[in-house]
Amino acid sequence: MPHGGTLLLQNLEIKICTGDGRLTFYPGNQTVDLPFINFMKRYGTVFLNAYTNSPICCPSRAAMWSGLFTHLTESWNNFKGLDPDYVTWMDLMQKHGYHTQKYGKLDYTSGHHSVSNRVEAWTRDVDFLLRQEGRPMVNLTGDRKHVRVMEADWRNTDKAVNWIKEEAINLTQPFVLYLGLNLPHPYPSPYAGENFGSSTFLTSPYWLEKVTYEAIKIPKWSSLSEMHPIDYYSSYTKNCTGEFTKQEVRNIRAFYYAMCAETDAMLGEIISALRDTGLLKKTIVIFTADHGELAMEHRQFYKMSMYEGSSHVPLLVLGPGIKEQQQIPNVVSLVDIYPTMLDIARIPVPQNLSGYSLIPLLHGKAENELSPRGPRPSWVLSEFHGCNVNASTYMLRTGKWKYITYSDGHSVLPQLFDLSDDPDELTNVAVKFPVIVRSLDKILRSVVNYPKVSSSVQEYNKRQFISWKQSLGQNYSNVIANLRWHQDWLKEPQKYENAINKWLSQSK
């Protein structure tokens, strides 16, 4: 290792899809029993402020696999990721002698996700408001003996376990194993139409019993008229502006936590397989997620938001040379995974990366001022350009502040939250602290020319939509009417087509 210790022979990375990082430490960890997350905390390190670089699957994974911010990967939506031939950290590790193995959800190259997903993202500047998701709901399945609810994830976990027990144990070279899980992502809701929305929180009594209902916090909501305009658009398109009883909200949150408990058990299978084969003592285990889950905070479910539930991810590391029972308060993000993996493998780290190695923090050492790139910055950046949000969004997180700005920085009001005083992000203090806003905006603009990026995304969206429309020919009206927004669109199809035509006729 560059920072002392012996060369680590094995390395394992586990990914989950929709993990709220606040469940990995107090007080969030009081709501559900996560024994293997707790094992990693007891024998390893937990990052208290780890963030996604884009709170949606494909753009987030593109950042994690490339080590580059989203405006550099140009992964603008859930369809547009990295080019298939992009050199990831795993490719480099393989080139330097590591045996590499991947199972489960990868989702970092272009070409996945539904037509709806793309069209909703492309048309976010159109002057209409349509529900794009099914109403969030819960579904209890099976009985108290029903353990394997998310069968596809369990199959991939079994494959990884068998690979550890049958292959990894016999390898003469170091290995890196990646397991991508879909849980605790909500399940499809077939009634929602084309490719379904994913608005069903599904679990069994076995997992629901792991949840402490009394500890579940019912989030406070602003009235619809008081909501930030971007939040209102998100809440409406996610079908969350209707009435919800406290019991409905509590159940959605409980079922989400139960889905997290099932995910934790999959992590446990991997840890147990490593322990049973004697590999755990020479393996680094990393557990993280591509984004969080709002679970009805801010009158929303799902991700696509810079609020903590959506953007704050779990990040735990366990293994040789990693300090035990360490809690790291520094802000870090998923672009840091790339240089960290290379650092572990003693592979030279490219200088063009957006991220910084986590190894100095994991070893409990001060940042190395002599590193070619200088010390780690005191901020992290997240950005979002996809569906359910009608403006490009940029978040800078530093110290106690979270600064969120939109589009060109002027046409939509920015948000500023003091997370030490207001952890639930209920009070926007941007008007109260204009000097802080100017200071944080200056830092943000030094990292990304965000008005220019927002403009590029708008042009990209229009270009893509025109190309898609032309490809459909006479089928266009029928296809666009029957996407996920069909329940609203079919009430007034001409009105919505006219709104699109008006948008297409507007030049910038």
For 411-464, the DSSP string reads: SS--EEEETTT-TT-----TTT-HHHHHHHHHHHHHH--HHHHHHHHHHHHHHH
Sheet containing strand 415-418, edge to edge, reads 379-384, 393-398, 401-406, 415-418
State residue 2's pLDDT score: 30
User: What is d(CA 257, CA 235) in angstroms, rounded to the nearest whole number?
Assistant: 21
In the prediction, which pLDDT does 503 show?
97
Which residues, other chains included, contact 277 with Cβ-Cβ below 8 Å and sequence gap of 6+? 164, 165, 168, 169
**What pLDDT is stored for residue 120 in this prediction?**
93
Q: For 243-247, 268-272, 364-368, which range has the lowest pLDDT when averaged over its residues?
A: 364-368
Q: What is the 3-state secondary structure (H, E, C) of 342-356?
A: HHHCCCCCCCCCCCC
CB atoms within 10 A of CB 194: 16
More confident position, 321 or 9: 321
Q: How does pLDDT run across 461-492, given as a tens digit for each residue? A: 999 999 999 999 999 999 999 998 998 999 99
Mean pLDDT of 8-35: 71
Residues above pLDDT 90, as percent of the chain: 81
Q: Which pLDDT value is given to residue 18?
A: 59
pLDDT-derived band at 117 (thresholds 50, 70, 90) equals confident
Q: Taking the model in full, what pTM does it have?
A: 0.94
Q: What is the DSSP code (8-state) at residue 104?
A: E
Neighbours of 22 (CB within 10 A): 19
What's the average model confidence in pLDDT over 207-230? 95
Provide mean pLDDT across the span 196-202: 82
Share of the chain above pLDDT 70, in %: 93
SS3 49: strand
pLDDT in the model for residue 57:
86
- pLDDT-derived band at 113 (thresholds 50, 70, 90) equals low
In this prediction, residue 84 carries a pLDDT of 86
Q: What is the spatial distance between Cα 264 and Cα 266, in angstroms, rounded to a whole number?
A: 5
CB of 136 closer than 8 Å to CB of 199 = yes
260 belongs to the catalytic site: no
Q: Over 70: is that where the pLDDT of 265 sits?
A: yes
**13: pLDDT confidence band, cut at 50, 70 and 90?**
low
CA–CA distance, 286 with 179 (Å, rounded to integer)? 10
Residue among 243, 76, 227, 122 at smallest CA distance from 485:
122
Closest to 390 in 3D by CA, of 231, 187, 276: 231
365 pLDDT more than 80: no
Across all residues in the chain, what is the average pLDDT? 91
Among the residue ranges 50-54, 129-133, 336-340, the one predicted with the least confidence is: 129-133
pLDDT of residue 5: 29
Among candidate residues 17, 57, 58, 260, the one labeled active-site is 57
Q: How far apart are CA 321 and CA 485, in angstroms?
A: 51
Structure tokens at 336: 């840091």
Question: Residue 83 — pLDDT band, cuts 50, 70, 90?
Answer: confident
Instruction: From 496, 495, 505, select the one nearest 462 (Cα to Cα).
Output: 505
**CB-CB neighbours of 83 under 10 Å:** 10
* Cα four-point dihedral sign 36, 203, 179, 293: negative
Beta-sheet strand order (sheet of 137-140): 137-140, 197-203, 187-189
More confident position, 195 or 116: 116
- Whole-number pLDDT of residue 22: 79
**Residue with token string 């009594």:** 205
Of the candidates 195, 104, 184, 101, the residue with the CA atom closest to the CA atom of residue 152: 104
Taken as a whole, the chain contains a residue count of: 508
CA distance 49 to 364: 16
Cis peptide before 27 (omega within 30 of 0): yes
CA dihedral of 293, 296, 297, 302, whole degrees rounded to 10:
30
Distance CA 436, CA 434 (A): 5
In sequence order, what are the residues at sequence separation of 6 or more whose Cβ sits closer than 8 angstroms to the Cβ of residue 413?
A: 228, 229, 406, 428, 430
Q: Concatenated DSSP letters for 163-208?
A: HHHHTGGG-SS-EEEEEE--TTSPEEEGGG-TT-EEEEEEE-HHHH
> 250-274: string of b/e by CB count within 10 Å (b at 16+)?
bbbbbbbbbbbbbbbbbbbbbbebb
**CA separation for the pair 466, 479 (Å, rounded):** 14
